[in-house]
Amino acid sequence: MAKPFIKWAGGKRKLIPSILSILPKSFNSYHEPMLGGGALFFELAPERAFLNDYNEDLINTYTVVRDNPDSLIKCMRKMENSEEEYLRIRSSSPRSPINKAARFIYLNKLSFNGLYRVNASGNFNVPYCKVDTRSPLDELAIREASLTLQGASLSSVDYLEALTKVQEDDLVFIDPPYDDTFSNYTSNGFNKANHLALKEAFDYLTDLGAYAIVCNSDTPFVRGLYKNYPKVNISDRFVISAKGSSRSPKETFFITNFEF
């Protein structure tokens, strides 16, 4: 079974068993409009999927992994793990999709705490992890991910546009930047107005007859927003903090528009 080939802040890999317990027994196509690391997608390995993320570099990486894994692996074999090489690659601006994907994975594997963060200009600005024994290339993970992605349609548009492809009885898993937490996955961020728009989209999916799940932090704002929908709290461990000791368990909302 394939697994996520990148680390993503707020990823759901450790919560997969809990998520599986609340999924509908069957569905048509799978949609994930805020893809990130794609843990649930790789777990389900659906025959037909629509995967989207506003981060163009991330979707380019998925596309290259799907279509050109051999060329990507060949490129990454030349990359060494050292702080000097990391800083050189971080400051580079490759043009080809394959070189861009290689840079993206390399920085993801060797950045401090595996964090993806950009500044207001859209430039990646995370320091080196200072672990010179870590390999930036997991060839098996890339090849397995490539096979799983063969039935996936990939896009990098606003998530609301991505949701226009959803049809009745499709499954939609939405994992947005959480309320009152880190949101610098792109230079645009994600604020209260965005969460209100997401709730309207959730209502739209409900009226459409699709199965929808959205996860978020358990805050009074989120509780009030989804007060009329079924929900479950699952103990999570945020992985944003630099210190493991400060990653205390948090209650995370999983909100559905169907009974589970």
For 145-158, what is the mean pLDDT?
A: 98
Query: Looking at the predicted structure, is the pLDDT value of residue 17 above 80?
Result: yes
- 32, pLDDT greater than 90: yes
pLDDT band at 42 (very low <50, low <70, confident <90, very high): very high
Q: CA-to-CA distance for 190 and 9, rounded, in angstroms? A: 14
Note the pTM of the prediction, 2 decimals: 0.90
SS3 state at 15:
helix
User: Please, what is the Cα angle at 53 between 57 and 93, to 5 degrees?
Assistant: 10
The pLDDT tens digits for 174-225 are: 999 888 765 444 445 678 899 999 999 999 999 999 999 999 988 999 999 9
**Domain parsing of the chain, residue ranges:** 13-256
Class of domain 13-256: alpha beta
Report which residue type is found at 107: L
The per-residue pLDDT for 191 is 87
Task: Return the number of other C-beta atoms located less than 10 Å from residue 232's C-beta.
Answer: 16
User: What percentage of the chain has pLDDT greater than the value 90?
Assistant: 73
